[in-house]
Amino acid sequence: MKDDPTGRRGRAVPGTRFSRFGRFGQLATGVAGGMMAEGVRRLAEGERPHLRDLLLTPGNARRMAERLSHLRGAAMKLGQMISMDAGDVLPGDLAEILARLRDQADPMPDRQLDHMLAVEWGPQWRSRLARFDRRPIAAASIGQVHRARTYDGRELAVKIQYPGVRESIDADVDNVATLLRVSRLVPSGLTIAPLLEEAKRQLHEEADYVREGEQMTRFADLLVDDPTFCVPRPVPDLSTTRILAMDYMPGDAIETLANEPQAVRDRQVERLMALTLRELFLFSLMQTDPNFANYRYQRDRDRLVLLDFGATRPIEAQTVERYRGLLEAALSGRRETVREACVHSGFLDTGTLAREGRRIDRMIDIGLETFHRPGPFDFGDRRFARLVAEEGQAIAEDPANWTLPPNDMLFVQRKITGTALIAARLKARVDVRALIAPYARGPADAA
C-alpha cells in the first residue's frame, strides 16, 4: 500500500457484492461487540442501560463511520446523504453518527488503479497522456481524482471511479437500511422507503460520469458570463462512464477564506447564496451536494471554482413554488403565515403541530426575531441556532413526530443547509432579506 499526499494509505475497495456484504457483516459484528462490552461496563457500575444507549456510544459511532468509509461507494455516500450534513431531518443521534463520514476516503492501491485505467482506456492507456500523476489529489466516496496533462499542454483533473461501485449501489443501500432498521435508530413508524429508492436513483446517476460531464457543461454554459464563478469543462475523448477528465482548476480550499477579511468572506458567501437562489428559481436545476470539497477559491481572480456535478438534478415546479411560499412567509414576519407555509410545503405535518404547537411556535418566533433584526444576518452568531436546536431535539424525542418532507425538497434543503453551514464556518454577514425578496415576488422581478 502507498500513501497519498495527505497521509492516507491506499486501501483496496471491495469490488464484488459478496465481499461488500462480508464487510457489512463485520460492521454488524463489531457494533454488537461494542454494545456487549459497554453493557457489561455499565452493569458493573450499577446501571441498567437501554439498548439505544448501548448502540450510540462514541466507539460504535467511530466503528460505523470507519467501516462505511472503507467500503466507499454507495455505503459511504448514503451516510452523507441521510445525515443531510446538519441533522435537520433525522434525529440528532443518528445524524451525529452519519455526519462523521467525510468526503476524504482511502485511495485505491496501485493495482486497482491500473486495472480501472486499463479497462476504461485500454492496456496502452499511458500513451494517451503526456503525464499522469499516480498519487491522487482527492479521494471521495465514489472515486478519486488525479492530475494529468495532455500532449498539447492542457492541465487535467481525472476522476476515476472505484471498482464495483456502480454494480453495488442497490445492495449497499439495502444493507445500510437494514443496519438502521435492526439497530432501531429509525422507528418502525417512519417510512423511509421512498427516500431510499430516490437515493438509489441519484447514486446511479452520480456513478454515470458521462451524465456528470453533461451536467458540468450545462452549468458552465449557464455561468459563462458570470466572472465570479468558474466551472471546468469535460474532455469527451478521455471520459467514459467511469472516468471523467476535465480541466484542472487550481484554488484553495474554501475553508481558507476564514483567514480573509470580513468583507471578503461576506462577498463570497453572498455569491454562493445568490447562486443557490438562481439554481432554484431561475435554472430549475440544482447541484445538490454542498460539501466543502466541492468549492475552491481563486484569490488572484477573486472567484469561486465549482466542482462535482454528479448530484445535479432538475427541480420540480411544485417544489419551486413551495419554497417561494416559504420565502414569502419568512418575509411577512407573521408566525401564523410561517406555520401554514411549513405545513403546506411538507416540512411540518398537522399531527406534530397539534402535539408540539407551543414548541414549534417558539422555534418560529426565534427564527423570525433573528431574521428581521436590522442589518445583515450574522451567520457567526449561533445562539439562535442553539435555541432552535434545543426545541427541535425536544420534539424529536417522540418518534411520532419524525416525518420526512417530499424527496425533491430533501435534496434542495440539503443544498440550502450546506450553504448555510459554509456561511457559519466563515462567520459571514449577509443581507439575506435583500437576496430572497425578488424571488418571493416572482421570477420576472428576479431575472
- The grid cell for 134 is 499516480
- Inter-CA distances, 184 with 111, 191, 200, 266, 334, Å: 39, 13, 22, 42, 38
**Catalytic residue status for 289:** yes
Whether the CB-CB separation of 195 and 410 falls below 8 Å is answered with: yes
What is d(CA 383, CA 292) in angstroms, rounded to the nearest whole number? 23
Pairing state between β 303-306 and 429-430? unpaired
The whole-angstrom separation of Cα 337 and Cα 329 is 5
* Helix segments in 7-47, DSSP class H: 17-44
Alpha helices in 45-57 (DSSP H): 51-55
Which one of the listed residues 289, 349, 378, 381 is annotated catalytic?
Answer: 289
Q: How many CB atoms lie within 10 A of CB 97?
A: 25
Task: Kindly write down the DSSP assignment for every residue of 320-365, as one continuous string.
Answer: HHHHHHHHHHHHHT-HHHHHHHHHHHTSS-HHHHHHHHHHHHHHHH
- What CA–CA distance (Å, rounded) separates 200 from 174? 9
Q: Please provide the size of the chain in residues.
A: 447
Name the residues annotated as catalytic. Answer: 289
